[in-house]
Amino acid sequence: MTNLELFIQVLISLILIIFMAQIVGRAITYLGQPSVVGEMIAGVILGPTVFGYFLPELSAKVLPQEIMPTLFIISNLGLAIYMFLVGAELNLELFSKRVVKDATALSIAAIVVPFFMGGLAAYLFNDEINAMNIDKTSLFIFLGSALAITAFPMLARILQEENIVNSRIGVLSILSASIQDIFSWILLGLVVIMCTTHVYTAVWLMLAGVTGLTLVLFYIVRPLLSSMASKIERFEDLSSLNFGIVILLLLVCALITDVLGLYSVFGGFILGVSLPRKGFFIQAISMRIKDFTVIAFLPVFFTFSGLNTNFLHLGNITLLVPTIVIFLFAFASKYLSCMLTMRYVSGFSWRESSAIGGLVNSRGLMELIIANIGLSYGLINHDLYSILVLIAVGSTLAALPIYRLSMWKGGFIYKNLAGRL
């Protein structure tokens, strides 16, 4: 395939991907779900489960294997940019001592219980799901990490679409999700090292590297950007030079965290959080790149994941029981542990505790990322990959209905929950 043929093929694929994401994303909103859930489902539809099964020849023509590396690059770049926007738009003033305390308690419950339930599933179904024959300890940690993670960027989009990102529940959920994801990535990095290089000092290098990057961004880059940010009072005040500096920093941070093994999305997020909240700086940057990122980049990642997913395999009798049990372990362990922690440790009402448990149970995007990493490094096969995608879709589908049912009272939903911050 020549460069021109590759370009044409990628354009055809992007047209199909964006079209499907918009159609399914819009359709799912009529069922009370956020559009991002529809984009996930659109990715599965375009994969071998639906499109590849019913129209295999056409699927191979419009989504050939030759364009997969290009789609991989586009999707990961989009994730880094989106996480940068999520970090930049967080209202840091809402992170009070009480919220941090509650988020820490929530994170411990949301990590520990699902992690050990995932490890238990790995032990019970080792013969059925360990097709790559990695050692049992590695499978224990990998599946535990997959069940312990929360879809930080996915949760952010759900909260943004519901306009509750800066509410009490929204801030608590998203802060806890970020803590959960960091620990899950550390564990995942350990698994990758155990199964590939066997050099355990790389874990400490990863921790030291991300700590150093955070300190540099907050104590060197942030002060340097403050003078620039204070001068931006309108959208037009953000010059191409200033915007270019921010984009360059974003790419560098994504590269550093990727090299460290913590994935590029965290480089974008840390940079976003570190940006100075002055003038119209954040709003001007967001206005330039947000819509294009959400519409054109993220659906590519969902489709890339969907192309590696075949739910039809899960109907196999040998995988049916493991699929059901692992899904139930994943859902119940995080939802119940989070709800009970918020009720009895942090003193939230049952309604609020259930709402938080439902939101934090959303695994969506980050589960897909873990699954893709596991598949890329040869830790799992396509069967376990499909189980993880099912967990990602199912838990994300349930997040918003649980929140709405939990907060429903007297004919309306309480969305302004900032009173306890």
The residue-averaged pLDDT of 239-266 equals: 87
pLDDT classification of 138: cutoffs 50, 70, 90: confident
Residue 408 bridge partners (DSSP)? 413
For residue 114, the model assigns a pLDDT of 92
**Which phi-psi region, left, alpha or beta, contains residue 256 (left: φ > 0; alpha: ψ -120 to 50)?**
alpha
Please indicate, yes or no, if residue 189 is contained in any of the structural domains.
yes
Specify the residue for token string 């047209």. 15
pLDDT classification of 369: cutoffs 50, 70, 90: confident
Please indicate, yes or no, if residue 136 is contained in any of the structural domains.
yes
The model's pLDDT over 287-342, given as tens digits with 9 standing for 90+, comes to 889 888 888 888 888 888 888 788 887 878 888 999 999 999 999 999 999 999 99
**Within 10 Å of residue 206's Cβ, how many Cβ atoms?**
20
Q: What is the residue range of 274's domain?
A: 69-409
Tokens of 164: 């509750």
Tokens of 365: 């995007």
Please indicate, yes or no, if residue 420 is contained in any of the structural domains.
no
For residue 264, the model assigns a pLDDT of 79
For the cut 70, the answer to whether the pLDDT of residue 411 exceeds it is: no
**Which phi-psi region, left, alpha or beta, contains residue 133 (left: φ > 0; alpha: ψ -120 to 50)?**
left
SS3 content of the chain, % helix, strand, coil (to 5): 80, 0, 20
Please indicate, yes or no, if residue 322 is contained in any of the structural domains.
yes
For residue 29, the model assigns a pLDDT of 86
Do the beta carbons of residue 312 and residue 49 sit within 8 Å? Answer: yes
For the question of whether the overall pTM of this predicted structure is more than 0.75, the answer is yes
Tokens of 78: 């989009």
For residue 412, the model assigns a pLDDT of 45
Please indicate, yes or no, if residue 244 is contained in any of the structural domains.
yes
pLDDT classification of 201: cutoffs 50, 70, 90: low
The model's pLDDT over 89-103, given as tens digits with 9 standing for 90+, comes to 776 666 677 788 888
Distance CA 230, CA 275 (A): 12
Please indicate, yes or no, if residue 399 is contained in any of the structural domains.
yes
For residue 27, the model assigns a pLDDT of 92
For residue 417, the model assigns a pLDDT of 44
Distance CA 218, CA 241 (A): 21
Please indicate, yes or no, if residue 349 is contained in any of the structural domains.
yes
Distance CA 340, CA 99 (A): 17
Do the beta carbons of residue 172 and residue 103 sit within 8 Å? Answer: yes
- The CATH number of residue 143's host domain is 1.20.1530.20
Residue 413 bridge partners (DSSP)? 408
For residue 340, the model assigns a pLDDT of 94
Do the beta carbons of residue 13 and residue 273 sit within 8 Å? Answer: no
For the cut 50, the answer to whether the pLDDT of residue 420 exceeds it is: no
For the cut 70, the answer to whether the pLDDT of residue 344 exceeds it is: yes
pLDDT classification of 409: cutoffs 50, 70, 90: low
**Which phi-psi region, left, alpha or beta, contains residue 279 (left: φ > 0; alpha: ψ -120 to 50)?**
left
Do the beta carbons of residue 377 and residue 134 sit within 8 Å? Answer: no
21-25, 129-133, 411-415: range with highest mean pLDDT? 21-25
Q: How many structural domains does the chain have?
A: 1
Least confident of 41-45, 63-67, 412-416: 412-416
Q: Find the distance separating the first CA and the last CA of the chain, reported in whole Å.
A: 57
Phi, psi values for residue 213, rounded to 5°: -60, -45
pLDDT classification of 199: cutoffs 50, 70, 90: low
